[in-house]
Amino acid sequence: MDFHVSLAGRGDLSARIYRELLAAILDGRLRPGERLAPTREMAQRLQVSRTTVTDAYERLTAEGFLVGRVGAGTFVTDQPVKPVARAVTQRQARVRPRRLWRSVSEPSADAVLPFDFQLGVPDGRLFPLETWRRLVARELRAKSVHPARYADPAGHAGLRAAIARYVGVSRSVVAGAEDVLVTQGAQQALDVIGRVLVDPGDVVAVEEPGYSPARRLFQSLGARVVGVPVDGEGIDVTAIPSAARVVYTTPSHQFPLGTAMSLARRTALLAWADERDAVIVEDDYDSEFRFSERPLQPLQSIDRNGRVVYVGSFSKIMLPMLRVGFLVAPPSLRATLRTAKQLTDMHGDPITQAALARFIEEGLLARHIRKATREYAARHELITTTLRTGFDWLELVPSTAGLHVCARTRFDPTGVVARARAYGIAVQSLAEFCLGEPQHGIVLGYGGIEVPRIAAGLRGLAAAHRANFLGLAMGQREPGS
């Protein structure tokens, strides 16, 4: 690619070109072995004499930063050059983000451990990649991308219609294509909803424990996020702050406990929203993978007053990297949410969306879900049976859906989780999903681990508990020894 050279600053032109190229080599913008533009071409681009450029190249060559190859051109040396961090000017150092962002931790990518019980991870090996590649290739043909235009911010029309039919049949969601807004995953759906409904300082109620990415997103918008306790029937409606403008909930498969909200609690929540003029954001988390009874109807389907915004995602059904989610909006919010989506990213990826529309309409999604559900059911059964029979220090929370299970402990399991990671076992503490007082428990996902490896992984978890228990016991005896 063309390298930009600025001729601003002091010194003759050759010295300025030299400094620009040297800085680019030292900080890694020009990589070892990269070819530089010929001196004649660089001179024409910079509108200087060829001699001026040649002098800069020759100086860098003499110092060992460039090498000339007869008949090939001039290249950055293949010898390693230690990168040099750029100096931060005083003016740059004064730039600061808004205050609320100072308390938001940076995202980090966890290393994949040999026994991966990480949450929110589907098994990519189950996905019909060859079929998907064929559908994407079909959409990439010339007639699909011409004429070049910006797409509808609400999403591909065929996909919106397919989603409306899909959630209508599989989840009893009452929606037409005009109610559906396609997003870049459920997280963007929540972001668009927050932009439309939440003013800085507004109260947003979330489940406690609950889905951390949603909580952090509302906090980033300036909301005052309040955790509301969850019991065996779902969110405690009586504990929701009366000032709450938005209530975020995962009623079909509560994250991370895994319980389902009772019908009585659902009707109570809808009545509360009507009385307080509030909006309920229903995240139908992991509802596709069910291993026993049929789920209760979504809040959206029994909502008679347009209080519910229904959110779904294909990340865990298919592949997280595809980044396709959606929301179903009540009529009063459709236009505004569409505008907010346009201001956020104009529109999503039309190629992926068109391919997904065909994937749904041709029955391929339903077939994939059936196959994946059988596999995940086997993993769920093995884990729950093992935990019930061989882990008396864990109290399993009943769950019949999704890609994870939760088990409570009578002690803080932080040490167990840390030791398990040292053994190559990725599990998470329930406290990670708490906004207020930490709750004790361990959460295990099974989307990323196959059946043959589950038993060994759970044995390692048991060993981590024993080692942690012995370590604590020895530590308690040490002061009196």
* Residue pLDDT, tens place only, 311-335: 999 988 999 898 999 999 999 999 9
Q: What is the pTM of this model?
A: 0.85
Phi, psi of 367 (to 5 degrees): -65, -40
Distance, CA of 266 to CA of 272 (rounded, Å): 10
The model's confidence at residue 79, banded by pLDDT at 50, 70 and 90, is confident
Distance, CA of 161 to CA of 357 (rounded, Å): 8
The model's confidence at residue 296, banded by pLDDT at 50, 70 and 90, is confident
Average pLDDT over residues 437-446: 96
Give the CA count within 13 Å in the CB-facing half-sphere of 277.
2
Residue with more model confidence, 417 or 143? 417
| Mean model confidence pLDDT for the chain | 90
pLDDT attached to residue 1: 67
pLDDT attached to residue 12: 86
Statement: residue 477 has pLDDT above 70: no
Distance, CA of 431 to CA of 409 (rounded, Å): 11
Statement: residue 130 has pLDDT above 90: yes
Helix 157-171 and helix 350-361, axial crossing angle in degrees, nearest 10: 40
Phi, psi of 274 (to 5 degrees): -60, -45
CB count within 10 Å of CB 207 equals 28
The model's confidence at residue 146, banded by pLDDT at 50, 70 and 90, is low
What residues are paired with 66 via a beta bridge? 76
pLDDT attached to residue 185: 93
Average pLDDT over residues 283-292: 85
Is residue 283 within 8 Å of 211, Cβ to Cβ?
A: yes
Average pLDDT over residues 232-243: 96
Average pLDDT over residues 364-371: 95
Pairing between β-strand 115-116 and β-strand 203-208 as defined by DSSP bridges: unpaired
Statement: residue 478 has pLDDT above 60: no
Q: Which three-class secondary structure string do you get for the chain?
A: CCCCCCCCCCCCHHHHHHHHHHHHHHCCCCCCCCECCCHHHHHHHHCCCHHHHHHHHHHHHHCCCEEEECCCEEEECCCCCCCCCCCCCHHHHCCCCCHHHHHCCCCCCCCCCCEECCCCCCCHHHCCHHHHHHHHHHHCCHHHHCCCCCCCCCCCHHHHHHHHHHHHHHHCCCCCHHHEEEECHHHHHHHHHHHHHCCCCCEEEEEECCCHHHHHHHHHCCCEEEEEEEECCEECHHHCCCCEEEEEECCCCCCCCCCCCCHHHHHHHHHHHHHHCCEEEEECCCCCCECCCCCCCCHHHHCCCCCEEEEEECCCCCCHHHCCEEEECCHHHHHHHHHHHHHHHCCCCHHHHHHHHHHHHCCHHHHHHHHHHHHHHHHHHHHHHHHHHHCCCCEECCCCECCEEEEECCCCCHHHHHHHHHCCEECEEHHHHCCCCCCCEEEEECCCCCHHHHHHHHHHHHHHHHHHHHHHHHHHHHHHC
Q: Which residue has the tokens 């994946």?
A: 372
Is residue 310 within 8 Å of 282, Cβ to Cβ?
A: yes
Statement: residue 480 has pLDDT above 70: no
Residue with more model confidence, 292 or 53? 53
Phi, psi of 265 (to 5 degrees): -70, -35
Statement: residue 27 has pLDDT above 90: no
Statement: residue 481 has pLDDT above 80: no
Statement: residue 90 has pLDDT above 80: no
The model's confidence at residue 293, banded by pLDDT at 50, 70 and 90, is low
The model's confidence at residue 475, banded by pLDDT at 50, 70 and 90, is low
pLDDT attached to residue 292: 78
Question: Quick one: tokens of 117?
Answer: 């019980």
**In this structure, which amino acid lies at residue 75?**
F
pLDDT attached to residue 177: 97
Is residue 449 within 8 Å of 122, Cβ to Cβ?
A: no
Question: Quick one: tokens of 187?
Answer: 């997280």
Question: Quick one: tokens of 149?
Answer: 């235009």
pLDDT attached to residue 112: 83
Give me the percent of the chain exceeding a pLDDT of 70.
92
Residue with more model confidence, 475 or 420? 420
Average pLDDT over residues 80-85: 62
Statement: residue 357 has pLDDT above 60: yes
Instruction: Compute, in degrees rounded to 10, the torsion defined by CA atoms 14, 18, 19, 23.
Output: 160
**In this structure, which amino acid lies at residue 168?**
G
Average pLDDT over residues 68-86: 79
Question: Quick one: tokens of 131?
Answer: 């079929």
Helix 350-361 and helix 129-139, axial crossing angle in degrees, nearest 10: 120
Nearest alpha-carbon partner for 155 in 355, 405, 384:
355
